[in-house]
Amino acid sequence: MTDSSAKTLRLLFPQWQGGNNPSYVFGAQMLAWLAPETSGPVETVAVAEPGEPLEMEEGIVARRALLAQAEDARRKIDAHRPDRVVVLGGDCSVDLVPFAYLNERYDGDLAVLWLDTHADVINAEVFPNAHAMVMGNLMGEGDADFAGLVKRPVKPENTMFAGRLDTFESLPEVRAMEARIFERLKLRTARPSELAETSAPVLDWLRSTGAKHLAIHFDLDVLDPAAFRSLLFANPDPSGAIGGVPSGRMTIAQVVRLLSDVSEVVDVVGLGITEHMPWDAMALKGMLAKLPLIGAPGR
């Protein structure tokens, strides 16, 4: 259901402050290099370089930097007024402004498929990093500054969380808030096991919305780290590994099948790919910088 005459803007958005993880800058740049060539316009959002430790600002880490980058993203989108947007990130919060724009562009007739291990609906009362708040903000909830970037909130019934798992075992207050939000807004979800052999749960939800346009958030952490290692949770260095990560995630083939099936029944107008963490490439880059002849001058 692709209109070849539609304008697609590709937005490189190497934002790292939303998850306070500087390595997402390199991850986004590598993702942009790996992506197929495009004949459409390409813009890069101005993102502050990693440097000094980020400060807590009114309950949210790096509030001012994140808002400034969101405003730059919106200026660059508005300069093109595209029909479709591809976002190459960066942490999950990169999809806030592009998806908000698309819901305005299509007069509220936008569904959002959040393909992610996490729901990203919580707020600063229980967690300070903005990448965990973005879907809540898109629905008009949470911090006033970030929710205020969304002129037309996405309807809760037009959102679905695919590939979601129970997380935040060590943060019970976060899990409790997420559960309350899901119950209050009656949000739809499908676990990886429900999507392993069929796309029916997502297709049934899409039909129930009646929406003609879809934006897809694809956080790579929905993939099984046993098969795809370029994920935050697959750090090969034991000293930096994150414990308590649920198993039973999706395979690349399952994700491709799901998104292919979805694209057959709805007009996909947005795609955000986020949280690429290429551990091996980063390790190799660091090693090369230390080798004789190729590394630092004088070695």
Give the pLDDT of residue 169: 79
Task: Give 56's strand partners.
Answer: 61
Strand positions, DSSP E, the chain: 8-13, 42-44, 56-57, 60-61, 84-89, 110-115, 159-162, 188-190, 213-219, 267-274
Question: 279 near 230, Cβ under 8 Å?
Answer: yes
Residue 180 in any domain: the answer is yes
Give the mean pLDDT of 30-46. 97
Residue 2 scores a pLDDT above 90: no
Half-sphere exposure of 296 (CA within 13 A, CB side): 4
Per-residue confidence (pLDDT) for residue 236, from 0 to 100: 87
Query: Phi and psi (nearest 5°) for 41?
Result: -70, 150
Q: What is the pLDDT of residue 5?
A: 61
Quick check: 267 and 212 in contact, CB under 8 A?
yes
Residue 269 is assigned to a structural domain of this protein: yes
pLDDT at 244 over 60: no
Q: Is 248 exposed, middle or buried (0-12, 13-18, 19+ CB in 10 A)?
A: exposed
- Any domain includes 297: no
Q: What is the mean pLDDT of the chain?
A: 94
pLDDT at position 1 is 62
Q: What is the pLDDT of residues 67-125, one digit of tens each?
A: 999 999 999 999 999 999 999 999 999 999 999 999 999 999 999 999 999 999 999 99
List C-alpha distances in Å: 92 to 133, 208, 296: 9, 26, 34
At 102 the pLDDT is 98
Q: Is residue 147 a contact partner of residue 140, using CB atoms and an 8 Å limit?
A: yes
Q: First and final CA of the chain: distance in angstroms?
A: 56
Which pTM does this prediction carry? Answer: 0.95
Residue 239 has pLDDT above 90, yes or no: no
Beta-strand relationship, 60-61 and 56-57: antiparallel
DSSP 20: T
Which pLDDT score, from 0 to 100, does residue 166 have? 84
Domain with 73, as residue range(s), is 8-288
Q: Are 146 and 69 in contact (CB under 8 A)?
A: no
Q: What is the CATH number of the domain that holds 263?
A: 3.40.800.10
State residue 241's pLDDT score. Answer: 60
User: What is the length of the chain?
Assistant: 299
The DSSP call for residue 82 is -
pLDDT at 240 over 70: no
Statement: residue 163 has pLDDT above 70: yes
Query: CA-to-CA distance for 215 and 99, rounded, in angstroms?
Result: 7
The answer, yes or no, to whether the previous bond of 270 is cis (omega within 30 of 0) is no
* Residue 162 within a domain: yes
pLDDT at 124: 96
- pLDDT recorded at residue 226: 87
Structural domain includes residue 294: no
pLDDT in tens, 4-33: 567 999 999 999 999 999 999 999 999 999
Q: How many domains does the chain have?
A: 1
- Tens of pLDDT, residues 76-85: 999 999 999 9
pLDDT at 34 over 80: yes
Alpha-carbon torsion (70, 76, 78, 83), positive or negative:
negative
- Per-residue pLDDT, averaged over 22-47, amounts to 97
Specify the pairing of strand 110-115 against strand 42-44: unpaired
For the chain, percent of residues with pLDDT exceeding 90: 87
pLDDT at 215: 98
Distance of alpha carbon 15 from the chain centroid? 11
pLDDT exceeds 90 at position 168: no
Phi-psi region at 5: left, alpha or beta (left = phi > 0; alpha = psi -120 to 50): alpha
Kindly tell me if the per-residue pLDDT of 216 is higher than 90. Answer: yes
Q: What is the pLDDT of residue 238?
A: 75
pLDDT tens string 179-189: 999 999 999 99
